[in-house]
Amino acid sequence: MSELFDRIDALVASRSVLPPPAERKRLRHAHGLTLDEVALALDVRRATVSGWEAGKTEPRPPERDAYARLLGKLAELYPAPTNPVAPGQDTAVPETFTSEPAPTRVRTAAAPVSEAAAMTTTQNTQTPAPVAPALAAAPRPARTTRSSSTSRRPVARKSTPAATPTGGTDPRFENGPLAVVDVDADGQVLAYCTGGLVLEVPAKSLPSLVEWTLKEARLGAPKLSGPGKDADPLLVLTEAALKRYGLPTTLTDEERHAGRIPEGHRVIRQLVRAEWKLTKRGLGPWARIYRPATGSERACVQLCIPSWNALDFRHWSEAAQLPPADLARVLGVYASRVMTPRGSTAVTGLELMTALHPPTRASEPDATGKRHSEHNPGSLGKDPVDCAPCEAPDGHPLLKNLPRFHVRGPGEKLFEEAYDWARPMTDAECTLRHLVGIDVNMAFAAGANGLVVGLGAPRHVKAPVFDAKLPGSWLVDLSHVDLSRVRLGKDKWADLDASLLPSPFTPKGERPEGPAWYATPTVAYAVELGYDVTPIEAYIRYENGRYLDGWYQRLRDAFLATMADLGVHADMEPADFLAAMDGYRDRDPDLAIVVDAVKATVKGGLGKLRERPRGEGWKPGQPWRALARATWRPDIRAAVISRTRINLHRKIVKHAAFTGQYPVAVLSDGVVYAADGTSPLDFLPYRDGKPLPGGFKLGINPGLVKHEGTQSVLWGEEVRERFNAPELNLARYIKDGRVTDKDSGE
């Protein structure tokens, strides 16, 4: 009889009433349950519960009765809203909602037998995918462990980052620009996209993963300019994903030195059989897998492999150790505000220049109605141009006829570099209590803003008349410029103590001794200070333009938007700004990583303009790979550095003329002053909340300054005495005060 009753109970349970799929998900979220917790309680797989909530499958006995009982209890605790949201109505979560929704997980169609066969997408009508890349407003996943017995998916929200408005997105890329591919505890391959979306990946091999990405994943980003190209989708492979697809989790010393795995590797052979190609850099930390384009259709996927050091710690901090969802958020914010990473931050910085100013564009239709590729005005073009001999770094082919051990001096070589200058403290400064460091925000980006640079090849001119509007390199004697008396305005002069100031014309701050090569901004500053200049010769670029303006604006906006998400806004009062900067990184460590990456993109991108040989058997006098790029432009790099150094010196001079205070040390974009207090406000001349015109101003905008650090004057004197270096550059150590024997050159 008991068996009969059991069969009756099972029959009743098989018809247990269940709420609609969307309501099932709402109830689980309302109680803060994860898919794993529900799956564990019902003794089923997490994917099974996900399918029930998506409406793809329905539970069957005996799980159906237990699932219905769970949902019934939850419905008693969390009744459905009396005014349900109609389809298409705004469903934004109120700002007071502090619990994080679980990521949306979408199952994609199973991989076909043939890796090259087309795949179709199974749409989930109950949980549509987001249609915008992740910005700072995307849910910040809680930190999760990588235990094999627990889920690596974010399950709870502890805080909500500041909201950031988002715009429309190309439907071709509705799942965002990238995905972090991982394998969960059940062996399911998952793609963590921006905005909290998680896709189930059916691919069983790397070639099929590439196929799936291009045909089904809907990843990528629209072009940044009219004549440009859409960004290829980026896949970030975790160590678990590397194991799944037959790749090593780390590189050997030999592979690390080569920057790739051997061409005979099994996975590379799989790609070859599937008719996929790799670029010349092969399958390394940043790899591009493609098939030749047919017309306007591109077939290319980029890989990023953090465990192979793709995300350099110096630029990406601890991003490589983040859980998949967190890493997708960090890279997604960077991709949406800067661009989809194309390699290191340096490579991406250079690629951003090209993406904003593509070398070619489509012409107007000809007589037959066809369009042709033509030069895009304002770009650097697609073909490289030779630099001037004075702009060429040592070992360049233009210098191959120089004697073997010849060392070029200032009269032969353009040497525009950032400051590294320091001096002993005066007796009066030693009576003060503190050394306070300030640092210019995004100094080199600000130096690029509005800068006119050469677009074409230089023209050699003898005895030219200097023209500040023409970019180029000028051989001129500036040794007569005396900083003890300088012009600050049209009819305003100032008397200064030149012995306490660095020269604006040399990186070491030493006064030039004769003719030397300078970029246009440096020579223009000598004229601004009130001195005549008579160039001996020059390499002038008559074809020029403000090539870097869009680049600067894109990176500036990315920096300011991310800092705003961290609670530091533009136009804050000085005291409020200093308070907001105190501990800003701890408010959202993930977004702090984005800030670091944006700043590294600026410096790295400019550095790439004069990229040096990187092994490959290169010998002095021979060309190296970077010279084949139209973006190998050492003159542009020199002009930006020149202008950045001059901008800083101008502020130092204005400050000295107004306050009588002189810097103790200057390093790149940082300056150290002696002061009685510990804050920049103790020596910066603010009057009624307004800074000195043309001087230092506290703020987050590029070109404004922030507090870098404070140490005692006794600390500075002790450090210099310990290393017997009265001119040791204290700006290098002002942030935390730590100095090692290695740092001091001992």
Same domain, residue pair 53 and 144? no
Residue 497 falls inside a structural domain: no
Within 13 Å, how many C-alpha atoms sit on residue 212's CB side?
A: 26
Same domain, residue pair 109 and 73? no
Give the model's pLDDT for residue 286: 97
Same domain, residue pair 109 and 51? no
Same domain, residue pair 128 and 248? yes
Compute the distance between CA of residue 43 and CA of residue 40 in angstroms, rounded to an integer.
Answer: 5
Give the model's pLDDT for residue 161: 36
Same domain, residue pair 276 and 145? yes
CATH of the domain at 38: 1.10.260
Q: Are 420 and 507 in contact (CB under 8 A)?
A: yes
Which one of 36, 61, 77 terminates a domain?
77
Quote the tokens at residue 92: 């934004």
Same domain, residue pair 156 and 214? yes
Compute the distance between CA of residue 569 and CA of residue 336 in angstroms, rounded to an integer.
Answer: 20
Give the model's pLDDT for residue 187: 92
Predicted TM-score (pTM) of the model is 0.80
In total, how many domains does the chain have? 2
Give the model's pLDDT for residue 14: 53
**Percentage of residues in the chain having pLDDT higher than 90:** 68
Quote the tokens at residue 385: 């141009």
Same domain, residue pair 65 and 122? no
Which one of 324, 342, 360 terminates a domain?
342
Residue 710 falls inside a structural domain: no
CA distances to 65, 335, 469, 733 from 314, in Å: 54, 19, 37, 17
Residue 248 falls inside a structural domain: yes
Compute the distance between CA of residue 437 and CA of residue 440 in angstroms, rounded to an integer.
Answer: 10
Give the model's pLDDT for residue 429: 96
Where the chain has pLDDT below 70, the residues are 1-16, 81-169, 295-296, 741-746
Compute the distance between CA of residue 269 and CA of residue 176 in angstroms, rounded to an integer.
Answer: 30
**Chain centre to alpha carbon of residue 584:** 18
Compute the distance between CA of residue 71 and CA of residue 79 in angstroms, rounded to an integer.
Answer: 11
CB atoms within 10 A of CB 450: 11
Compute the distance between CA of residue 746 and CA of residue 741 in angstroms, rounded to an integer.
Answer: 5
Give the model's pLDDT for residue 742: 52
Same domain, residue pair 182 and 248? yes
550-577 residue pLDDT tens = 999 999 999 999 999 999 999 899 999 9
Supply the range of the domain harboring residue 328. Answer: 105-342
